[in-house]
Amino acid sequence: MQVLQAGRFKLILLEIDAATISAVAQQAGFEARIKETAVAMTVDLMAPKEVPVLLFDAADPANLGWFSRCQFYVDGRSGMVMQTPIQVGNRRDRSGRNLAHSLRVRIAKELPATFRLPGRQALTEQVFYMMFNNFLQALTKTGVAVCGGSAVVPLAGRTEAPGARN
């Protein structure tokens, strides 16, 4: 981890290792393809067909049981996983349909110096790897809730909007 001073702005630069991210994803049961730039790392996650990716709509009353067990919540408008440097998005096939067992995850390497995890914990590489592992485990075991918006489409539970009420 490095600290960068740019004028009056201070940034934390995480030195995330692609091999470690790939190993964490493999331990969680995902296949990972990684693309790295100076400011972010993009990870395309693919789960086996028999393992559902539990990304569900938090607004659907049928998902109340999942929502109460969630550790991670996704802002449906931006794709940001709340209080983390992770952003998620749906992967699509050639015809534009969402792939049910696949997600694209973007990990920000540059963060404001004031960035803190829940509980005011500072973010280091080791803490990030543990949090990333917990996020991947949540995607396959307890669920991750999508809250509002339409940029990120849920992959579990009822994925289409309910019909009109009479």
- Is it the case that residue 159 has pLDDT exceeding 60? no
Residue 32 lies in a domain: yes
Helix (H, G, I), strand (E, B) or coil at 95: coil
Residue 67 lies in a domain: yes
Higher per-residue pLDDT: 27 or 59: 27
Task: Look over the chain and give the mean of its residue pLDDT values, rounded to a whole number.
Answer: 87
Distance, CA of 40 to CA of 90 (rounded, Å)? 18
Task: Write down the number of H helices and E strands in the chain.
Answer: 3, 10
Cβ-based neighbour number of residue 141 at 10 Å? 12
| Among the listed residues 93, 96, 101, 104, the one whose alpha carbon sits nearest the alpha carbon of residue 152 | 104
- Is the Cβ–Cβ distance between 153 and 60 less than 8 Å? no
Rounded to two decimals, the pTM is 0.87
- Is it the case that residue 67 has pLDDT exceeding 70? no
Residue 157 lies in a domain: no
Helix (H, G, I), strand (E, B) or coil at 72: coil
Residue 74 lies in a domain: yes
Helix (H, G, I), strand (E, B) or coil at 114: coil
pLDDT for position 9: 86
pLDDT band at 148 (very low <50, low <70, confident <90, very high): confident
Residue 164 lies in a domain: no
Give tens-digit pLDDT for 76-117. 999 999 999 999 999 998 998 888 899 999 999 999 988 998
Strands (E), the chain: 2-6, 9-13, 31-36, 40-46, 55-57, 73-75, 86-92, 98-108, 110-112, 144-147
Helix (H, G, I), strand (E, B) or coil at 158: coil
Mean pLDDT confidence for 143-159? 79
Residue 14 lies in a domain: yes
pLDDT for position 158: 55
Domain range enclosing 85: 2-147
pLDDT for position 160: 53
How many separate domains does the chain show?
Answer: 1
Residue 153 lies in a domain: no
Mean pLDDT confidence for 64-79? 82
Give tens-digit pLDDT for 15-57. 999 999 999 999 999 999 999 999 999 999 999 988 888 888 8
Distance, CA of 85 to CA of 91 (rounded, Å)? 19
Residue 152 lies in a domain: no
Whole-number Cα distances in Å, 24 to 97, 103, 130, 135, 163: 28, 15, 9, 11, 40
